[in-house]
Amino acid sequence: MEKPRTERNTKWKKNYNIDEIKYTKLDLNRDMFYKKPYSCNYWVTHRCNSKCDYCNVWRDPSLKKIPDAKLEDVKVNLVDLKKLGVKFIDFTGGEPLLNKDLPEMLKYARELGFFTQLTNNGSLYPQYAEEIKDSVSQLSFSFDTLDRDEYKRIRGIDNFDNVLKSIKIAKKLKQNICLICTVTNETVDNLPDIVRFCKENKVVVFIHPIFTYFEKKPLKKEYVNQIKKYFWHPYVRVDLSDLDFYAHGGNDINNPRCKAGKSVIAISPDNCLFVPCFHKAVKKIKINGRLYSLYHSDEWKQLFDKAGRYDFCQGCNIPCYLGASPLDKIDRYFFKELLSFGKVQLERIRS
């Protein structure tokens, strides 16, 4: 029989003294100098109601068997992440709103002072908007086209009107919205319309090239340069350093830039660490309430020592594991990373 909600919600407190945790709001200036690790990509489900052309999540039969993240596990891990100094949690999936406990997870993460990001496809947001409005620091909707038919072709479902409705509701609720525009060789011509839409509606869009981890063709160099041209446009976020990195061929296994397991921790719905990352997990390690101690163990070093150095890491261009902070590493991308970070803050103020 399912336990009463109140009992389930307080079980974690027996093991953790919440008063020991320092509650802080995200201070962007101070956090440029953050201590590692900085962010966590938290997969709360692998289920999805979309069938995006460039994604394998809905195609992979092994992911279908994995249950959604449990509220109790998430709470325990969030406390440990807080103790580790993590500032930013991206709740992702699949479609994260398919996990019925997500509103509670978001609320708890905000109570602990995390900057919370919810990346979703806009199909379920309208029914959760009111409930989660105070728990999401940044609300991200996937948005690649203004053409209803093309949307259906790219995403495999007829959800275009719902996305527009979601944006409208989120604006009305004064949410911090960021549309995520993934550019492919086929959709690059949509950029002028997308940028115009965002200016007219005063909504920020993050434009980035398609990752190549699902054996998709990389964006052509001339198109990468096309994205760069939008850098100074109002309501546009473009990471110049990530684009340079992409154009230069991505990660170099002899001088890796990947921060998987160092700055960025990736957790699966079945309460495991992805080692080294979700996209190329060679193994999964059960967390079982020991995230904090595991992070400080030699085992962790061994698990993530090869992140960015595996053969399959050559050419990797997944930004989720790269640019957590402009001051993480001073290299050839440093100044553009800093400039891009500054532009993000400008758009934050503008919107």
Least Å from the CB of residue 278 to ligand SF4: 8
Tokens of 73: 């596990």
Nearer to ligand SF4, 50 or 116 (CB): 50
According to DSSP, the β-strands at 283-286 and 272-275 are antiparallel
User: Exposure pattern of 245-284 as b/e (b: 16+ CB <10 Å)?
Assistant: bbbeebbbbeebbbbbbbbbbbbbbbbbbbbbbbbbeeeb
Nearer to ligand SF4, 87 or 155 (CB): 155
Nearer to ligand SF4, 124 or 198 (CB): 124
State how far the Cα of 1 lies from the Cα of 4, in Å rounded to an integer: 9
Distance in Å from the first CA to the final CA of the chain: 47
Nearer to ligand SF4, 47 or 87 (CB): 47
Least Å from the CB of residue 309 to ligand SF4: 8
Nearer to ligand SF4, 123 or 175 (CB): 123
Nearer to ligand SF4, 142 or 340 (CB): 142
Least Å from the CB of residue 213 to ligand SF4: 7
Nearer to ligand SF4, 48 or 170 (CB): 48
Tokens of 254: 């002899």
Nearer to ligand SF4, 45 or 175 (CB): 45
Footprint on this chain of ligand SF4 (rule: CB under 6 A): 48, 50-52, 55, 57-58, 93-95, 121, 142, 251, 258, 260, 276-277, 279-280, 307-308, 310, 312-313, 316, 318, 321
Which CA distances in Å does 257 have to 39, 95, 238, 310, 319?
16, 28, 19, 12, 10
Least Å from the CB of residue 260 to ligand SF4: 4
Nearer to ligand SF4, 30 or 301 (CB): 301
Least Å from the CB of residue 312 to ligand SF4: 6
110 neighbors 134 (Cβ within 8 angstroms): yes
Least Å from the CB of residue 182 to ligand SF4: 8
Q: Which residues contact 232 (CB under 8 A, 6 or more apart)?
A: 343
State how far the Cα of 276 lies from the Cα of 183, in Å rounded to an integer: 26
Least Å from the CB of residue 140 to ligand SF4: 11
Least Å from the CB of residue 273 to ligand SF4: 13
Least Å from the CB of residue 311 to ligand SF4: 9
State how far the Cα of 200 lies from the Cα of 3, in Å rounded to an integer: 49
